[in-house]
Structure 1
């Protein structure tokens, strides 16, 4: 007897989900298969967790889209043809490649994505600030640096600590907290050298907000919201809730939803997105980042009742989006492997109390990367991370050229 999940025949067009090594793509696969969609998976890693899921109909190995963009698009187009998939759901920065090379994909391909001009603004950690700020969305104070003289001047006037951030990055890569003028200058110039940044792409300097931290994931259709769901960040891989989140809880935060609506309308958004928010000393949430793709924590809205992958699929396929979905506040969701990595990092840094707190069980907690009915993806995820760990010579945050720019 087959161990694979078999969708019912219901006329829903088959889908292909990329970036299948990541838990966010796994949430998409689970969501759509349970809705009766035939789901195919693609990724550059042979250990991609989604290929081990009983919800995946097939797996296609693709080139790395950072290092081989043309080959990636060619292989992706071939995978769409071979599997018969009609809806394409690019789950990471390959969204940009799909936008740029849309005409290279099969003509029947359906996908929800913004215009290239809107994508470029949203993905730039400097450029989006002016547009959404002008629309009324709160954003942190930010300074642009293009030469050493400007760097010296800004370093002498800002209040510390501040953040140094590359214009385009992923996770906590290319982001540092600095506490003094010397640290600021050393950190920024080191990033310029490490990532080989052109002068017009030097990192920005941004005030550090220290209040509650939220994410909001959502789907827009032609500049209007289809579904959005905020959740609070309770723990991250790094100390002080810094870096990729590993433990969060769904919340009812209408102010965050209101500001996110303002921001994404200003960007005329179409498709999936995620946003990051930190409150100031007065409790006002400020938008600190936008990404035109799934977040790693998209399982939180999904487990709380807001099935964003399904809404994304519906918008992509040209179907009427489900208007009856609601988020249930108070649902805790944990990234198991992320907490395991964070535990090792915290122990190594001597933060034993924080590390031990990760071992505390939480009643009713759900997971990004594990469900009892489909246990093998967690094994694949662990093996994939271990292989990347070895390939990166012991780094728990492996880098691919082009990821930070």
Structure 2
């Protein structure tokens, strides 16, 4: 049986490992993995046929594109699947310069209409999707200081910007006073040369909806809740569980993705206020960190992306709720940070230890360490130690 050659980028990411396993298990696919490192997490998987080292797209876009062009021809690659923003935007923007191969993303203008947070906010307002009160600025001098209530959020329109053929990473900042606002706008170049917003701070918790669309039609939705994070105050999920989809969030996600005739995956992120209102934060137009949980619960987004480029798909029907996913070494970090936190009492620290050690024998899987594919775990453990 002839196999379709798939090149999965950003192999150091956990989402790339989940993608490699999901596609590499299929008899009709041969997976190649790549990243800028000599070896990477997904490249250690038994489901990666071959690992290739590529130039860093953040350092030199053209060198990276030349490498992709040569690699596609040399290995007869049929399908490209990036999992980070820089790689996906680079490939989508230069799609026409690459040899013929599948790339499961919308065109660059559509992609930017969602990944550009300022443009997305305007779209959401026109559709009646709740957004925080926002000022739209091109430079620091555009800020209306009289209209600001602290704390506020200083949010660049794009999380990555291309400057002189190199990618510059921006950052969202929570600002507590006028002096901090002035300092940030003076210190960070992306607040003077690129669009940004000054937004109302929404006191609440984060939540999201994960989606797959095929040529403007909704095909699959998924949701989860975070049980533990690193750092514990909020960050990367280290223990999560599949959960029912909030109907308001799904409605808002549909409105936004329908409006741009979306194609591909999207993670629509909200912040839910105390009164239960979900305020739109951003949309990530790529695969996400906790991807393995969706796959374990019954929604294999990598396979939807692959199959959706070759045939019309049926609407995916549901998923199993209550499935847990644990990133073991990330959870170790969570425990360590709690134990060294001087603001936690001894009883709270003992509770954290007990919670960490309590086994769960059903509906929980580990993200990296899997008995049928332990190579990535040994690689991660070596670097962790």
Structure 1 partner of 2:229: 236
Q: Is the 8 A contact 1:250 1:300 kept in 2?
A: yes
Q: C-alpha separation between the residues in 2 aligned to 1:270 and 1:179? A: 39
Q: Does the alignment pair 1:189 with 2:181? A: no
Deviation (angstroms), 1:236: 2.5
- Offset at 1:95? 1.1
User: For residues 349-398 of structure 1, what are the alpha-carbon distances to aligned partners after superposition, in whole Å with 9 as ceiling and x for unaligned?
Assistant: 53554764772446232233221211111232345567xxxxxxxxxxxx
2:154–2:197 contact (8 Å) kept in structure 1: yes
Q: Decide whether aligned partners of structure 1 residues 39 and 131 sit closer, same or farther in structure 2, where only a CA change above 3 A counts.
A: same
Distance 1:210 1:337 in 2: 30
Paired with 1:45 and 1:297, the residues of 2 have a C-alpha distance of 22
**1:165 equivalent in structure 2:** 155
Residue 286 of structure 1: how far off its partner (Å): 1.9
2:244 to 252, 268, 271: 252
Partner Cα distance (1:261, 1:12) in 2: 34
Between 1:197-206 and 1:14-23, the stretch displaced more is: 197-206
The answer to whether the Cα contact below 8 Å between 2:155 and 2:196 also exists between their aligned partners in 1 is yes
Is the CA contact 1:311–1:322 (under 8 Å) kept in the aligned structure 2? Answer: no
Q: How far did 1:102 drift?
A: 1.3
Other structure's SS at 2:308 match = helix
Call closer, same or farther: CA 1:367–1:142 in 2, change over 3 Å.
farther
When normalised by structure 1's length, the TM-score is 0.82
**Equivalent in the alignment of 1:99:** 92
- 1: CA distance between counterparts of 2:355 and 2:268? 25
Does residue 262 of structure 1 match 2:261?
no
* Residue 60 of structure 1: aligned partner: 52
Counting only pairs closer than 5 Å after superposition, residues 300-315 of structure 1 correspond to structure 2 as 300-315=293-308
CA distance 1:357–1:149, change in 2 (3 Å):
farther
CA distance in 2, matches of 1:32, 1:287: 32
Match of 2:30 among 31, 38, 46: 38
User: Residues 132 and 266 of structure 1 are in contact (CA less than 8 Å); yes or no, is this contact kept in structure 2?
Assistant: no
Match status 1:175 vs 2:172: yes
| Cα distance in 2 for residues equivalent to 1:358 and 1:15 | 40
- State the 1:324 CA deviation: 4.3
Contact 2:45 2:376 in 1 (8 A): yes
Q: Greater strand percent: which structure? A: 2
* Residues 140, 192 of structure 2: 8 Å contact kept: no
Please state whether the residue corresponding to 1:226 is helix, strand or coil: strand
Q: Secondary structure at the match of 1:28?
A: helix
Which residue of 1 is the match for residue 70 of structure 2?
78
| Partner of residue 5, structure 1 | none
Q: CA 1:20/1:322 → structure 2, altered by over 3 Å: closer, same or farther?
A: farther
**Distance between the aligned counterparts of 2:381 and 2:243, measured in 1?**
29
| Corresponding residue to 1:17 among 5, 8, 11 | 8
Change (3 A) 1:345 1:185: farther
Gap change, CA 1:117 and 1:324, over 3 Å in 2: closer
Specify the alignment match of 2:370 in structure 1: 371
Q: Deviations over 1:24-79 (max 9, x none)?
A: 01111111122322111111112311111011111111000110211111212222
**Does the aligned pair in 2 maintain the 1:32–1:310 contact within 8 Å?**
yes
- Correspondent of 2:318 among 309, 315, 326: 326
Distance change in 2, residues 1:100/1:145 (3 Å): closer
2:190 alignment partner, SS class: coil
Residues 326-361 of structure 1 deviation map (CA, whole Å, 9 limit, x = unaligned): 221121222233333444445555355476477244
Q: Distance in 1 between matches of 2:313 and 2:3?
A: 13
Query: What 5-or-longer segments of structure 2 have no aligned partner?
Result: 161-168
Return the offset for 1:272. 2.0
Residues in 2 aligned to 1:79 and 1:383: alpha-carbon distance in whole angstroms: 29
Equivalent residue number for residue 141 of structure 1: 133
* Change in 2 beyond 3 A, CA 1:95/1:27: same
Per the TM alignment, residue 213 of structure 1 is displaced from its structure 2 partner at its CA by: 2.2
Q: Structure 1 regions of 5+ residues with no counterpart?
A: 1-8, 387-405
Deviations 1:287-328 (A, max 9, x none): 211111111111221111111111011123x22335445221
Alpha-carbon shift at residue 189 of structure 1 (Å): 3.4
Q: 1:178 and 1:360 mapped to 2: Cα distance? A: 37
Q: CA RMSD in A?
A: 2.6
CA distance in 2, matches of 1:210, 1:40: 43
Separation (CA, whole Å) in 2 of partners of 1:65 and 1:158: 37
Contact 2:218–2:315 (CA<8 Å) still a contact in 1? no
